[in-house]
């Protein structure tokens, strides 16, 4: 049971009034761009890929699972609005108190963000319909040939169950993920997609930023905080989403799978090493000097919706505080325990960026 596994906290503050009152933000009316409830390429895994958190030297011992939240012991969490129950789960409030107070105390000059894109910056559903992820934008676009959509959905049906199979190890899954991506890549090359077509596919899709993502991005841009978007999705597509929502600012760096184009602007392959959901610590950024250049920004807010995402901040030199926020979008009951073991804050089917905005709001 959730209530007995760990102290259940509910972050609050001005932006979390709805959560504190037990209400969800009313979703907008069904959006005409939202497609049907189609299967979209998933980005989640049920297999823990990293040991549970090591204790921080500066923090109190882990809170016993049955210990009730003690507001006085968690002043920063208290500022955010502490409440038992709701859509926020925190296994170790003392640890999270230390992390957030460290991040807030360090200010914007010590901060960087490392975030996943699909279903982290973007919404999972809206108006009762599932929103497209970056792959889904193409898989479901009428601008793509019929044979592509059929084959892409056949591959999805074959490989997605493997991606989320709780009985398979990450090592067992990786060869299948590589097979999946290679076949999709070959298929895409066959389609000779034009650079210009992507813009129209994105604008006609149901992809939407999570509510509050734009506010967060604008705050971080104004404060000069670097944001690394690390995605196993399609870089060209997700960049276009960021552009269309006016959040692709100069503090944002995208690392993903990018198309290679010929002189006619037709896609002929992919650049660089493939990024899939389980190798997010091995991409070009982790072998570059990106994190080294940001060595004075050793406070990190990491956000993801897959256990594979917790690897994204590996490579940050001498991190002081790395706060991992996990969006648990699907299979909530089955995956809650492992998410709580691996993410500091777990948000249950929360289609907003309210919690992160509240934390960043303390730094203004």
Binding site for Mg ion (CB under 5 A): 43, 116, 118-119, 305
118 an active-site residue? yes
- Output 83 or 115, the one with its CB closest to Mg ion: 115
- Output 14 or 253, the one with its CB closest to Mg ion: 253
Output the smallest distance, CB 330 to Mg ion, in A.
11
Residue 131: count other Cβ atoms within 10 Å of its Cβ.
Answer: 26
- Output 101 or 120, the one with its CB closest to Mg ion: 120
Contact between 47 and 339 (Cβ < 8 Å): no
Output the smallest distance, CB 42 to Mg ion, in A.
8
Contact between 253 and 220 (Cβ < 8 Å): no
Residue 46: count other Cβ atoms within 10 Å of its Cβ.
Answer: 17
Output the smallest distance, CB 237 to Mg ion, in A.
14
- Output 7 or 307, the one with its CB closest to Mg ion: 307
Output the smallest distance, CB 115 to Mg ion, in A.
9
Contact between 69 and 7 (Cβ < 8 Å): yes
If phi > 0 it is left, if psi is from -120 to 50 it is alpha, else beta; for residue 212 that is left
Active-site hit among 46, 78, 118, 354: 118
3-state DSSP assignment of residue 76: helix
Q: Which residue has the tokens 């011992």?
A: 61
Q: Rounded CA gap, 11 and 16, in Å?
A: 7
> Which residue is nearest to Mg ion, using beta carbons?
43
260 an active-site residue? no
Active-site hit among 31, 46, 78, 116: 116
- Output 152 or 328, the one with its CB closest to Mg ion: 328
- Give the N- to C-terminal CA distance of the chain in Å, as an integer: 37
Q: Which residue has the tokens 């003690």?
A: 70
Environment class of 234 (CB within 10 Å of its CB; exposed 0-12, middle 13-18, buried 19+): buried
- Output 97 or 309, the one with its CB closest to Mg ion: 309
3-state DSSP assignment of residue 235: helix
Contact between 345 and 323 (Cβ < 8 Å): yes
Contact between 233 and 118 (Cβ < 8 Å): yes
Catalytic residue list: 116, 118
């Amino acid at each position: 049971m959730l209530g007995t596994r760990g102290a259940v906290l509910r972050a609050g503050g001005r932006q979390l009034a709805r959560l504190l009152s037990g209400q969800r933000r009313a979703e907008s009316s069904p959006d005409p761009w939202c497609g049907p409830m189609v299967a979209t390429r998933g980005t989640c895994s049920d297999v823990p890929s990293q040991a549970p958190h090591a204790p921080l030297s500066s923090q109190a011992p882990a809170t016993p699972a049955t210990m009730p939240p003690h507001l006085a012991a968690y002043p920063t969490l208290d500022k955010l609005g502490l409440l038992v129950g709701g859509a926020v789960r925190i296994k170790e409030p003392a640890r999270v108190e230390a992390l957030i107070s460290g991040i807030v105390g360090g200010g914007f000059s010590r901060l960087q963000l490392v975030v996943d894109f699909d279903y982290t910056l973007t919404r999972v559903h809206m108006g009762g319909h599932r929103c497209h992820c970056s792959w889904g934008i193409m898989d479901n676009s009428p601008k793509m040939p019929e044979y592509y959509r059929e084959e892409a959905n056949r591959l999805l049906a074959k490989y997605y169950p493997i991606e989320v199979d709780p009985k398979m190890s990450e090592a067992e899954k990786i060869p299948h993920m590589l097979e999946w991506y290679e076949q999709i890549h070959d298929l895409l090359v066959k389609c000779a997609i034009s650079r210009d077509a992507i813009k129209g596919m994105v604008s006609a899709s149901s992809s939407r930023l999570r509510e509050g993502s734009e506010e967060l991005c604008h705050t971080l841009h104004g404060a000069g905080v670097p944001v690394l978007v690390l995605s196993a999705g399609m870089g060209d597509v997700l960049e276009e989403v960021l552009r269309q929502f006016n959040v692709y600012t100069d503090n944002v760096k995208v690392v993903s799978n990018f198309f290679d184009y010929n002189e006619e602007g037709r896609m002929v392959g992919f650049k660089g090493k493939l990024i899939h959901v389980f190798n997010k610590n091995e991409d070009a950024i982790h072998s570059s000097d990106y994190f080294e250049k940001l060595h004075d920004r050793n406070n990190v807010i990491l956000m993801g919706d897959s256990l594979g995402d917790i690897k994204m901040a590996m490579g940050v030199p001498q991190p002081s505080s790395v706060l991992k926020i996990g969006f648990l979008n699907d299979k909530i009951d089955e995956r809650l325990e492992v998410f709580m073991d691996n993410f500091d804050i777990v948000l249950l089917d929360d289609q907003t960026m309210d919690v992160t905005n509240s934390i960043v709001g303390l730094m203004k």
